[in-house]
């Protein structure tokens, strides 16, 4: 049986060569079109021999017929009985949603009985799979090529390997080339020649692939009877050495991943805390409604998406300024309406703003319902960046990290370069002196509070991309963000940045041992103890301002 | 009489008399009069009143540290909950074989988690007196350790408030974990009996109301006496001018620590009285929101007066019961608005308002 199928395949490959050479020499456009039509006519004929013929013709047509071939393999290629045309159908439970196989235009839904499926034999299916692999291998997209290499590497077939070998010579993309190399190294590893095997294992230890790790692990393990799976001790030792080598790298990558997750958690904390750092540091105001201002920002994103459901990416970008404005306005209203009566009584501002937070929470609950709202993530933010088999970084976390840094730098520049920033710093250092110098402190207070609140709103936009948007969103972050501010040292933006990242990373490094909840508890206890040692945080304010 | 400050303050005296009548007349009416008489109060009224009195005790404990010592503790709810858990553990051990799984030793949730033996910290809780000791000891020790660390390194004001909040938040997270052995999310509940009495029985409810009332009165009088002693006056001086008191040679941190621990113990007692009356204790009692609510009771009543805390606690909780029953969505609006209005317009709370009225009518 096996010999027969190999023979069949050789014949197919020979035909392929022939067709390839024909295509190269022929008048490209006309002959291609003609070939495609010919192939499809053949496909519609009943006999398997004709279908085989058709598949070969289609294969020659290059990547453009890949969808047809794939559909054929998946059993989704049909003949529409009404007009005898070829269609690709997707099952919709009642029947099929069909589209034209050649042009790809949708042709609506049909009953199951309206179409006839084009059947395949197992033998044809095997060769079809190879042809598809081959076509994918010559695709322009490296990702498709990579997937094809991996799929073909798993097949124990000489001819598939021959195709891969040929591809290795012309492949330009490093990752794909590497993947092909790994396929052959793995093959060498299982060969009979000891020197070849040892060389292969030696070469594989530099490769970052889970597949390699699994294979190597299998080699050094014992079977149920207690004997080593691999009887040769030299090979076992080489495999062990290679595993150690790989595991060191694996650990390195997992540390990188942890640091990345820590940084992204830290970025969220910094975003949440930095607005608080301004109001707390500059004005000595404890804004318990800060979390709710973040919640408003998140809901702004939600509303923006409802307003423009067709333009997701744009709506998220537009939400950033919108959330800033809305939260800043609410913040200014809080400052003018309540907080300005309470200056010099920080504990009272805590209570009053807590009252505001309750009102804001309940308003959102009454307007939007107490249930969580889902905010969609634009396409460019979803998915992850697969660095290699051992390391993949999610895009949304990556963007939040970048976003956090942008916000931080902007805020720093506002405080450093603008006249508002100058006034804010002056008031923070010495309120009375600033007043004496003619700075309108009460206007500066309102603007500062607005700025801090606006940043809370912007943080809310970022949060909406990673958590559920609900009335309790703010509450979840308020204790954490206070911790960050206090840990970093009040009135110091750099302190907040460092504190946020340190706490984020510490949290993520503790999580594997302690679990998420215990890690959080440990971090809280650490901060409580840290405050005892350095009551003014990591970077305490110096000078007179610190005394007040 | 003068010693405990009665007679000098009309409002304080009125509150005491009211408290005494509530805690004796209502339970007695309930026990003696037949169910159809107009003097009979429903079991619901009795248990709700009992709950209010434990809240009043909790408010009192906060007023001691906040009103008299200026420490805005945002973790008072944690001590309350710890006291409650200690009592809950005793009640849990009393269930015995009547639990769903009928295990004579292990509470239901432990059987459910497949635990084989009782954790060491559950030992001894089958003894009522040991449990009572723990009710004051556990919050006391936690407050001592925490306060000793905090006051010694002079963590004050806002920083202190925030780390007390972190403390209760950390405990909240910890008690939510099943591995802690305190019933996780569900907490401790399904109690059967207290000292051999059925916990559902009206007689026990009435008795608990009476005990809560008596405890509240006793603690109130004790605190009243305390704040008028020299120790109390030093504590008040610390609130007003901490550094000056330090320069006068007093060890400020010791006074603060003392009052903080004492208040934590009172909060623990309040929690222990609360649990048998509501029949459940779960981790949500640790939530920072609860502790903030205690602050608002005291703020509304008027801090630094002791009876203000009692008035505030009862009033706020009564309105909570009424409003959440009538229209639940209004409650948070009201609470929020009250927070804002009281802090901005009534820094001395209702008691301050009443005092002003009294003074006006005298002059």
Which 3 state secondary structure label does DSSP give A370?
coil
- With beta carbons less than 8 A apart as the criterion, state whether B62 and B263 touch: yes
Q: Which pTM was predicted?
A: 0.76
Mean local confidence (pLDDT), A73-88? 77
Least confident of A147-161, A294-308, A475-489, B265-279: A147-161
Q: How far apart are CA B1 and CA B207, in angstroms?
A: 28
- For residue range A523-546, list pLDDT tens digits in order: 888 888 888 778 777 887 665 444
| Residues A459, A462, A468, A474, Cα dihedral to 10° | -10
Domain count, chain A: 4
pLDDT band at B144 (very low <50, low <70, confident <90, very high): very high
Look at A355 and B329 and tell me if their CB atoms are within 8 Å. no
Higher-scoring residue by pLDDT: A514, A408: A408
Mean local confidence (pLDDT), B132-152? 92
Among A347, A356, A357, whose Cβ lies nearest the Cβ of B158?
A347
Residue A265 and residue A212 share a domain: no
Domain CATH code at residue A479: 1.10.3470
Q: How far apart are CA B192 and CA B86, in angstroms?
A: 16
The whole-angstrom distance between A192's CA and the closest CA on chain B is 52
pLDDT band at B76 (very low <50, low <70, confident <90, very high): very high
- For residue range A463-477, list pLDDT tens digits in order: 888 888 888 888 878
* pLDDT at position B5: 45
Return the domain boundaries, chain B: 10-362
Give yes or no for residue A494 having a pLDDT over 60.
Answer: yes
Residue A65 and residue A92 share a domain: no
Instruction: Provide CB contacts within 8 A for B258, sequence distance 6+.
Output: B231
Bridge-partner residues for A85, per DSSP? A80
Q: What single string gives the DSSP state of each residue in B187-235? A: -EE---EETTEETT-HHHHHHHHHHHHHHHHHHHHHHHHHHHSHHHHHH
What is the β-pairing status of strands A115-117 and A77-80? antiparallel
Which stretches does DSSP call E strand in A112-214? Answer: 115-117
Bridge-partner residues for B61, per DSSP? none
Per-residue CA distances from B348 to A231, B110, B338 (Å): 86, 48, 14
Least confident of A257-271, B67-81, B175-189: B175-189
Residue A197 and residue A287 share a domain: no
Least confident of A46-50, A61-65, A222-226, A535-539: A61-65
Residue A199 and residue A268 share a domain: no
The whole-angstrom distance between B160's CA and the closest CA on chain A is 9
Q: How far apart are CA A361 and CA A353, in angstroms?
A: 12
Least confident of A443-457, A532-546, B202-216: A532-546
Residues of A in contact with B299 (CB under 8 A): 351
Give yes or no for residue A350 having a pLDDT over 50.
Answer: yes
Average pLDDT score over chain B: 85
- With beta carbons less than 8 A apart as the criterion, state whether B108 and B101 touch: yes
* pLDDT at position B272: 93
In a domain, A256, yes or no: yes
Tokens 């309540």 belong to residue: A338
Q: What single string gives the DSSP state of each residue in B293-336? A: HHHHHHHHH-TTSSHHHHHHHHHHHHHHHHHHHH-HHHHHHHHH
In a domain, A153, yes or no: no
Q: In terms of Cα–Cα distance, which of B1, B68, B20 is closest to B262?
A: B68
* pLDDT at position B1: 39
Give yes or no for residue A113 having a pLDDT over 70.
Answer: yes
Residue A404 and residue A420 share a domain: yes
What percentage of residues in chain B have a pLDDT greater than 90? 31
Residue A297 and residue A437 share a domain: yes
- The number of residues in chain B equals 363
- With beta carbons less than 8 A apart as the criterion, state whether A502 and A255 touch: no
- For residue range A211-259, list pLDDT tens digits in order: 777 777 777 777 777 777 667 777 777 777 888 888 888 888 888 888 8
Backbone angles phi, psi at A86, to 5 degrees: -85, 130
Asked if B246 is an interface residue toward chain A (Cβ–Cβ < 8 A), one would say no
Look at B163 and A531 and tell me if their CB atoms are within 8 Å. yes
Residue A364 and residue A277 share a domain: yes
Give yes or no for residue B200 having a pLDDT over 50.
Answer: yes
Residue A473 and residue A543 share a domain: yes
Q: In terms of Cα–Cα distance, which of A190, A198, A132, A120 is closest to A156?
A: A190
Look at B339 and A527 and tell me if their CB atoms are within 8 Å. no
pLDDT band at A8 (very low <50, low <70, confident <90, very high): low
Mean local confidence (pLDDT), A159-176? 71
* pLDDT at position A22: 47
Residue A352 and residue A324 share a domain: yes
Among B159, B176, B335, whose Cβ lies nearest the Cβ of A358?
B335
Instruction: Provide CB contacts within 8 A for B194, sequence distance 6+.
Output: B91, B94, B204, B276
- For residue range A380-429, list pLDDT tens digits in order: 777 777 777 677 788 888 888 999 999 999 999 998 899 988 888 888 88
Interface test with A, best of B169, B242, B345, B346 (most A CBs within 10 A): B169
Mean local confidence (pLDDT), A480-499? 84
* pLDDT at position A2: 47
Of all residues in chain B, the one with the smallest CA distance to A482 is B162
- For residue range B113-126, list pLDDT tens digits in order: 888 888 888 888 88
* pLDDT at position B58: 95
In a domain, A152, yes or no: no
Higher-scoring residue by pLDDT: A99, B363: A99
Q: How far apart are CA A176 and CA A182, in angstroms?
A: 10
Q: Radius of gyration (Cα) for chain B, nearest Å?
A: 21
| Residues B212, B214, B215, B218, Cα dihedral to 10° | 160
Residue A539 and residue A456 share a domain: yes
Q: How far apart are CA B112 and CA A67, in angstroms?
A: 54
The whole-angstrom distance between A473's CA and the closest CA on chain B is 14
Look at B336 and A362 and tell me if their CB atoms are within 8 Å. yes
Residue A198 and residue A100 share a domain: no
Look at A527 and B166 and tell me if their CB atoms are within 8 Å. yes
Per DSSP, A80 falls in state: E
pLDDT band at A368 (very low <50, low <70, confident <90, very high): confident
Per-residue CA distances from B45 to A227, A321, B200 (Å): 76, 53, 14
- With beta carbons less than 8 A apart as the criterion, state whether A161 and A187 touch: yes
Residues of B in contact with A356 (CB under 8 A): 336, 339-340
pLDDT band at B355 (very low <50, low <70, confident <90, very high): confident
Of all residues in chain A, the one with the smallest CA distance to B158 is A347
pLDDT band at A548 (very low <50, low <70, confident <90, very high): very low
Asked if B328 is an interface residue toward chain A (Cβ–Cβ < 8 A), one would say no
In a domain, A386, yes or no: no
Identify the domain containing residue A195 by its residue range.
161-231
* pLDDT at position A99: 78
* pLDDT at position B262: 95
Residue A505 and residue A463 share a domain: yes
């Amino acid at each position: 049986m096996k010999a027969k199928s190999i023979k069949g395949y050789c014949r197919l490959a020979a035909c392929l060569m022939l067709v390839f050479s024909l295509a190269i020499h022929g008048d490209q456009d006309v002959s291609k079109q003609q070939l495609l039509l010919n192939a499809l006519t053949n496909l519609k004929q009943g006999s398997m021999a004709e279908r085989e013929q058709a598949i070969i013709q289609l294969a020659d047509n290059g990547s453009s017929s890949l969808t047809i071939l794939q559909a054929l393999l998946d059993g989704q290629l049909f003949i529409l009985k009404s007009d005898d045309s070829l269609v690709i159908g997707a099952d919709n439970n009642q029947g099929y949603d069909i589209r034209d196989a050649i042009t790809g235009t949708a042709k609506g839904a049909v009953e199951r009985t309206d179409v006839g499926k084009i059947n395949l034999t197992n033998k044809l299916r095997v060769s079809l799979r190879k042809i598809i692999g081959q076509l994918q291998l010559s695709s322009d997209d490296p990702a498709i090529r990579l997937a094809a290499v991996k799929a073909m590497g798993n097949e124990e077939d000489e001819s598939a390997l021959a195709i891969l070998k040929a591809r290795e010579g012309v492949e330009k993309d490093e990752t794909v080339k590497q993947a092909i190399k790994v396929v052959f190294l793995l093959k060498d590893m299982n060969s009979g020649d000891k020197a070849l095997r040892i060389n292969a294992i030696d070469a594989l230890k530099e490769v970052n692939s889970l597949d390699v790790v699994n294979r190597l692990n299998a080699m050094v393990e014992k079977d149920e009877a207690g004997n080593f799976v691999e009887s040769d001790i030299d090979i076992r030792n080489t495999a062990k050495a290679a595993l150690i080598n790989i595991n060191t790298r694996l650990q390195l990558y997992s540390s990188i991943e942890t640091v990345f997750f820590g940084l992204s958690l830290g970025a969220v904390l910094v975003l949440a805390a930095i607005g608080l750092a301004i109001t707390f540091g500059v004005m000595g105001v404890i804004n318990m409604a800060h979390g709710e201002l973040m919640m408003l920002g998140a809901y702004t994103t939600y509303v923006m998406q409802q307003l423009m459901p067709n333009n997701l990416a744009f709506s998220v970008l537009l939400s950033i300024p919108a959330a800033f404005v809305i939260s800043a306005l609410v913040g200014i209203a809080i400052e003018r309406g309540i907080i300005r009566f309470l200056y010099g009584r920080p504990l009272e501002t805590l209570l009053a703003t807590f009252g505001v937070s309750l009102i804001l929470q309940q308003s959102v609950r009454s307007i939007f319902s107490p249930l969580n709202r889902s905010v969609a993530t634009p396409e460019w933010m979803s998915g992850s960046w697969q660095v290699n088999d051992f390391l993949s970084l999610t895009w949304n976390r990556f963007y939040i990290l970048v976003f956090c840094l942008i916000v931080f730098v902007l805020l720093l520049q506002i405080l450093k370069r603008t006249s508002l920033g100058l006034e804010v710093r002056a008031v923070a250092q010495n309120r009375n002196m600033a007043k004496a110098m003619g700075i309108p402190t009460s206007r500066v207070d309102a603007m500062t509070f607005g700025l801090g609140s606006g940043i809370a709103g912007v943080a809310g936009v970022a949060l909406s991309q990673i958590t559920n948007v609900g009335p309790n969103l703010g509450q979840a972050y308020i204790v954490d963000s206070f911790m960050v501010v206090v840990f970093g040292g009040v009135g110091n933006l750099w302190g907040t940045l460092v504190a946020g990242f340190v706490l984020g990373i510490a949290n993520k490094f503790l999580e594997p041992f302690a679990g998420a909840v215990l890690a959080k508890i440990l971090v809280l206890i650490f901060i409580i103890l840290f405050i005892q040692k350095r009551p003014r945080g990591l970077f305490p304010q110096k000078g007179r301002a610190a005394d007040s | 009489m003068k010693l405990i400050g009665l007679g000098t303050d009309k409002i304080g005296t009125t509150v005491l008399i009211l408290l005494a009548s509530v805690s004796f007349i209502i339970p007695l009416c309930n026990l003696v009069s037949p169910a159809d008489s107009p003097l009979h109060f429903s079991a619901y009224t009795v248990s709700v009143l009992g709950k209010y009195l434990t809240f009043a005790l909790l408010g009192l404990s906060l007023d001691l540290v906040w009103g008299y010592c200026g420490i805005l503790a945002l973790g008072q709810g944690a001590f309350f909950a710890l006291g409650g858990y200690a009592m809950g553990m005793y009640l849990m051990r009393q269930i015995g074989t009547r639990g769903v799984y009928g295990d004579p030793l292990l509470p239901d949730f432990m059987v459910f988690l497949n635990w084989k033996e009782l954790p060491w910290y559950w030992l001894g809780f089958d003894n009522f007196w040991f449990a009572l000791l723990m009710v004051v000891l556990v919050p006391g020790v936690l407050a001592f350790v925490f306060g000793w660390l905090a006051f010694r390194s002079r963590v004050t004001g806002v920083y202190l408030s925030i780390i007390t909040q972190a403390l209760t938040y950390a405990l909240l997270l910890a008690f939510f974990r099943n591995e802690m052995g305190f019933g996780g999310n569900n907490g401790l509940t399904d109690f059967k009996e207290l000292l051999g009495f059925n916990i559902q029985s009206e007689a026990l409810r009435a008795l608990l109301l009476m005990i809560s009332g008596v405890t509240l009165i006793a603690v109130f009088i004790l605190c009243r006496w305390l704040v008028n002693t020299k120790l109390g006056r030093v504590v008040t001086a610390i609130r007003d001018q901490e550094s000056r008191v330090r320069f006068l040679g007093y060890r400020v941190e010791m006074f603060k620590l003392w009052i903080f621990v004492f208040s934590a113990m009172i909060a623990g007692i309040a929690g222990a009285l609360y649990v048998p009356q509501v029949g459940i204790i779960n981790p949500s009692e640790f939530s920072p929101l609860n502790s903030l609510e205690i602050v608002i009771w005291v703020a509304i009543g008027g801090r630094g007066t002791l009876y203000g805390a009692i008035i505030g606690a009862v009033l706020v909780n009564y309105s909570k019961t009424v409003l959440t029953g009538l229209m639940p969505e209004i409650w948070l609006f009201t609470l929020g608005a009250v927070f804002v209005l009281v802090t901005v317009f009534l820094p001395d709370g209702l008691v301050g308002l009443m005092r002003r009225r009294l003074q006006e009518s005298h002059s």
